[in-house]
Amino acid sequence: MSQEDPVKSPQTHDPVGNAIPPVEHTGIHTTEPPTAAAGLSAVLSTLKHIRSEMGLFKGLALLNRVNQHQGFDCPGCAWPDPDTGRSSIAEYCENGAKAIAEEGTERLIGAGFFQQYSIRELARWSDHELGKSGRLSEPMILREGEEHYQPVSWEDAFALIARQLQALDSPDEAIFYTSGRTSNEAAFLYQLFVRQYGTNNLPDCSNMCHESSGKALTETLGIGKGSVTLHDFELADLIIVIGQNPGTNHPRMLTALQKAKKNGGKIISINPLPEVGLRSFKHPQQLSGLFGSGTALADMHLPVRINGDVAVLKGIMKIMLDKEDEQPGMVFDHAFIEQKTTGYRAFADDLRKVNLLRCEESGGISLDKLREAADMIMASKKIICCWAMGLTQHKNAVGNIQELVNLLLLKGSIGIPGGGTCPVRGHSNVQGDRTMGIWEIPQPEFMERLEKEFDFQPPLKNGYNTVAAIQAMHRGAAKVFIGLGGNFLSATPDTLYTAKALGNCLLTVQVSTKLNRSHLVTGQTALILPCLGRSETDRQAGGAQFVSVENSMGVVHRSEGHQQPASSQLMSEPAIVAHMAQHSLPHSSTNWLEMAGNYDLIRDRIQATIPGFEDYNKRIRKEGGFYLPNSARIQQFNTTDGLAKFTIHPIPVHQLKTGEFMMMTIRSHDQFNTTIYGLDDRYRGIYRERRVVLMNEEDMEKEGLKPRDAVDIRSDYDGETRIAKGFLVVPYVIPRHCVATYFPEANVLVPIGLVADKSHTPASKSIVVTLHKG
């Protein structure tokens, strides 16, 4: 049913708490969600964004180079390209095209823009308005006490960074953050610079997303990466997609799911919200996809309560164990269990004690549905489990993922064609950055190789992860922040706390392509260092260069831009890092500028220090790149005893009081991470508004709320209250006592101290809140 009213946007607040007055706008508009993802609507949306930013001719020409050999890697998600049969027409998705349009925009931001607008004025702009302002075109400085950025030369900027770093009492007083967009070459130089400087303070975006996956998989399988390849999807009997919305966050994954279905595979979706992308998919390169009904995907959808995943998985495995006890050897792969695993007996004994009625209550899924899902799993051998932040951002996130590992171990479905683990990474090189050594926890073998190759003694003390880095800045223990890409303030939890932390710094430095909120909430002095985008030509002293990235399935491949840079004053990320190091480390024996002039030299040093990169410069030039070694893929488990491990986890207990709800943050279809492309969430039928709270209609009635009522959302944690003002209630199909809000607007409600056990990932998917009518 369509609902549209010309209403005022509810009052909002900027990240430092200043009230933003209501503004007139066309009004929120809601409709029934579409019945299928992609199709003609995705094509039209792509053309609209491309035309508005760079024009159709230029835009379509640029898109023809995306994810192609000797082209550039999409700056969006990390979903892999096909090993063979890559489309020469369009190897990208709608949201990838939006990312490329944003990067290729013809609008530029320079001195005139910052002379016209103060940071106080810009702080009142929405994230969408900031992003649409244009590409940053020259280095800028915000001097202490001033409100307008001014131009600064690259040389002066690097000299300022060096002075501030050299003046600190300890290297541990500096924070060096990395975004998942950063290339292998830039990431390797960055961690080398930071460790030669003397610290392991290398927080990155992994800390906020798949850190839980890495911890869970390393403990149980001996490697923190997924085990499957893209080809495995075509072979799978069953694919379980849990805590993930591929239609919006990884749209090219839908093609793999479509192939699986056409080959006879089944799909189970487990997620609090029903997502269109798992209901049906219209392939936009197929005539039936443009004009037909599309391919039905999920055979079963289990609308689990927020953080009810352990209950659902334990319930399913309990049903499977009961059947195995009735018919020994007919359900579980005991040969695999006996030869390749440890801990099965204790795991099975614990599982026998599980109460199925409690699983039904905690997970919100009926016993009939749990049995139906168990039947599908018991009938399958080649099983792939896919997940994303719906599992990784809870206090018990590591346990969530290890329950999936338990399920796969029971069936012997790891390390076989068509079976295994698939954590679906969000940013295009977030996995590669970790491979390059971007990690606050130094690995002894890697430190030894760095010491041998570069003739320095790396620090061995653990550094700060993202949450610890924010806390250190907040208490004054860290005084310089350097961000290599990303939008740190908007990506992190507890927005006002993080804003205060950044404000405590003596210097904040942001290496960026576009304006974002992290440029407006700064230390005493701030620098914006504009860098090249993925699509742009990178010409250094040694000629035209290319970089490399690692996708979600461990394939390393090249990325080379051919577009004229947006400005002559842009520098590449490797060059920026090299110049920072050259200025800051006068006694270093490393020839930073030589490596920045020829990226082959960086790859030579990667080859010398990181296993799996033998003949790097030769293999990276081959079409499709190369796979990194993956022990779990061949059933070799690099744990302490060489065996995969069953683990035992309790069902989380959530005792909500009357009027309390469990909130999770989600993304709209018009955004990627913190980048807001527009104000519409087409796949959920919500248009022209982002400050919304999705709510079950029965809960609305009980709370006396009507559609589009304005509410303040409040979270109380550890004696502190956090409030997000002015959200509009939208009735939606979501389990009782659960609500959903968009990230990053609701990050203000996520307590800095509420993190996942072991991984320390912010628990942004399970925040207890109350709603208060304005």
pLDDT band at 11 (very low <50, low <70, confident <90, very high): very low
CA triple 630-632-634, angle to 5 deg: 85
**Exposed/middle/buried for 444, CB within 10 Å: 0-12, 13-18, 19+?**
exposed
Q: What is the CA radius of gyration of the chain?
A: 25
Q: How many CB atoms lie within 10 A of CB 29?
A: 15
The answer, yes or no, to whether residue 13 has pLDDT greater than 80, is: no
For position 85, what pLDDT does the model report? Answer: 66
For position 84, what pLDDT does the model report? Answer: 78
| 383 DSSP β-pair partners | 238
Instruction: Tell me the average pLDDT of the chain.
Output: 94
SS3 assignment, position 730: strand
Decide: 752 and 494 in contact? Cβ < 8 Å. Answer: yes
- Per-residue pLDDT tens over the stretch 220-251: 999 999 999 999 999 999 999 999 999 988 89
The answer, yes or no, to whether residue 644 has pLDDT greater than 70, is: yes
pLDDT band at 15 (very low <50, low <70, confident <90, very high): low
Beta strand 507-512 pairing with 480-484: parallel
| Least confident stretch, 275-279, 285-289, 611-615, 759-763 | 285-289
- Alpha-carbon distance of 160 to 152, in angstroms, equals 10
SS3 assignment, position 190: helix
Instruction: Over range 457-469, report the average pLDDT.
Output: 98
For position 2, what pLDDT does the model report? Answer: 34
Instruction: Over range 714-722, report the average pLDDT.
Output: 96
Nearest to 314 by CA among 379, 404, 235, 233: 404
Q: Which residues contact 248 (CB under 8 A, 6 or more apart)?
A: 95, 275, 277, 667, 668, 669, 683
- Per-residue pLDDT tens over the stretch 57-109: 888 888 889 888 889 988 888 899 888 766 656 778 888 888 898 999 999 99
Instruction: Over range 477-497, report the average pLDDT.
Output: 97
The answer, yes or no, to whether residue 715 has pLDDT greater than 80, is: yes
- Per-residue pLDDT tens over the stretch 654-667: 999 999 999 999 99
Amino acid identity for residue 694 in this structure? L
Instruction: Over range 459-474, report the average pLDDT.
Output: 98
The CA distances from residue 131 to 113, 514, 569, 570, 617, in Å, are: 14, 6, 20, 18, 36
- Alpha-carbon distance of 764 to 209, in angstroms, equals 10
For position 21, what pLDDT does the model report? Answer: 38
Instruction: Over range 401-421, report the average pLDDT.
Output: 98
Instruction: Over range 248-256, report the average pLDDT.
Output: 92
The answer, yes or no, to whether residue 9 has pLDDT greater than 60, is: no
- Per-residue pLDDT tens over the stretch 529-582: 999 999 999 999 999 999 999 999 999 999 999 999 999 999 999 999 999 999
Structure tokens that stand for 211 in this block: 């850190």
- Alpha-carbon distance of 62 to 168, in angstroms, equals 45
Q: Which residue has the higher pLDDT, 269 or 59?
A: 269
Structure tokens that stand for 339 in this block: 């030869």
CB-based burial, 133-159: b 16+ in 10 Å, e otherwise: bbbbbbbbbbeeeeebbeebebeebbe
Strand order in the sheet with 300-302: 300-302, 266-270, 238-242, 383-387, 420-423
